[in-house]
Structure 1
Amino acid sequence: MTQHTKRAFILGLTALAATPALPALAQNKTTGTTFVRVPTFAAEDQARIKRATAYLQALSAASGRFEQTDFRGRVTTGQWWLQRPGKIRFEYDAPYSVLVVADGKNVNMWDPRLKSFDQYPLSFTPLSLFLSKQIRLDQGVIVTEVTRTTDGFRLKARDRRKDVEGAITMTFRDQGGKLTLGDWTVVDAQGKSTRVNLLTLNTAASLKPSLFVLNKPSASRN
């Protein structure tokens, strides 16, 4: 797996990268840090943001199948597991067979074909949007757009604190008043998007702790 392909995996699952056409930025004159202005939403859109926040907050443990499509149209599939706070696992099908695991502190990635192990601080990724103990969409991560769809709505969110950070768009399906996360799309600095579609989502009371342990394999591993 090339470094670019590896980045595509991480981008689709964890990275909130730079993207063009973001809302106007407001300059903090004291620190020089740039911030995205928080939009003013109509009451119905505020209600959608509130529903999405409550739904994500209540999603304590879940699993299912996913399908990821990168900017080239290449499709990969696999299994995912989530245990809030802090833990998620993505297990890609062959021929990639890549593992991506957030253990509460770090995001670890193992490529068995190249015997390559990479590690990223969880705090440097937008996985906190799903994995933090207290989910907020009005502080560090903010919603910048709300769009109605035929069966629900989409929220576009981004890190408010960094003017070079980009956006993630989450689609929520509303079926008979029951909300479900359907997919998310992230965009890199060149405007290239990666979409992760949750083919299935099954909630659970809890999951095996071993699912969220991925240590660097020893050099002798075959």
Structure 2
Amino acid sequence: MTVSRRAFGLATGAFAIAALAGLPVAAQAGLSAEDRATLAQAQTYLQNLTSAQGEFVETGPGGQRRTGHFWLQRPGRMRFEYTDPAGLLVVSDGSNVKRYDPRLNVFRQVPLSATPLSTFLARNVRLDQGVSIDRVTRMASGAFAITARDAAKPNEGSVILAFAGNPARLQEWTITDAQGGRTRTQLTSLSAAPNLAASLFRLRDPTRRPRRN
């Protein structure tokens, strides 16, 4: 089953990271030793990001802004809770990814395994295998950015992950879709969050009416 991120309405940061982590097999020929070291640094950082929370600002292709909070608990769990527009939720419970839009009263669900998010939320994140890298950019400050795309479908867009350096920290990502539209997500805060409540990663279908006895 192939699930379109656009069709499912999931242009969130979770899927930006997943798009990079879950790209199909492609050679990394042409990367310098320094480039490979930078990729290894990013991989180590993402692998260690096992439980976290933070806030984000998302800017869409038309300039529209969305804000909210997110929580992450690997393996398998993530929650994006939008404050503007209020009530919009995207939740992975370890088995399924669910999205609820209260403005439209629409609930959608797909198996986690049918989305690239499954790779990022796996126990082991690998950027040294199955990734097509367009560019690795490093700054004097220690910050760096990785630009990647699906080599099997190069016309479907790309993703840029930007990290602060010393120590490495994910700062933002930008998705460019097949039509050239760009969605930028900036992390305004990010911190470790041990012992997250299991209820954060549960989302029942609010549109279902309770059964009558």
Q: TM over 0.5: same fold?
A: yes
Structure 1 residue 171 corresponds to structure 2 residue 159: no
Q: Partner of 1:10 in structure 2?
A: 10
1:112, distance to aligned residue in structure 2 (A):
1.1
1:1-222 → structure 2 map (5 Å cutoff): 9-13=9-13, 36-128=26-118, 130-149=120-139, 151=141, 152-163=143-154, 165-174=156-165, 177-220=166-209
CA contact (8 A) 2:40 2:128 kept: no
1:207, distance to aligned residue in structure 2 (A):
1.0
Superposed CA offset, 1:62-86 (max 9, x none): 0011000001111110000000111
RMSD of the TM alignment (CA)? 2.5
Q: Which runs of 5+ in 2 are unaligned?
A: 1-5, 17-23
Superposed CA offset, 1:127-178 (max 9, x none): 245312111113234433211135400012234454554322110101xx21
CA contact (8 A) 2:53 2:190 kept: yes
Q: Secondary structure at the match of 1:216?
A: coil
For the residues of structure 2 that align with 1:67 and 1:196, how far apart are their CA atoms? Answer: 6
Superposed CA offset, 1:176-216 (max 9, x none): x2110001111211010111111100112231111111121
Percent identity over paired residues: 43
Q: Is the deviation greater in 44-53 or in 142-151?
A: 142-151
CA contact (8 A) 1:35 1:162 kept: no
For the residues of structure 2 that align with 1:57 and 1:94, how far apart are their CA atoms? Answer: 30
CA contact (8 A) 1:38 1:144 kept: no
Q: Which runs of 5+ in 1 are unaligned?
A: 1-5, 17-33
Q: Secondary structure at the match of 1:11?
A: coil
Equivalent residue pairs, number: 197
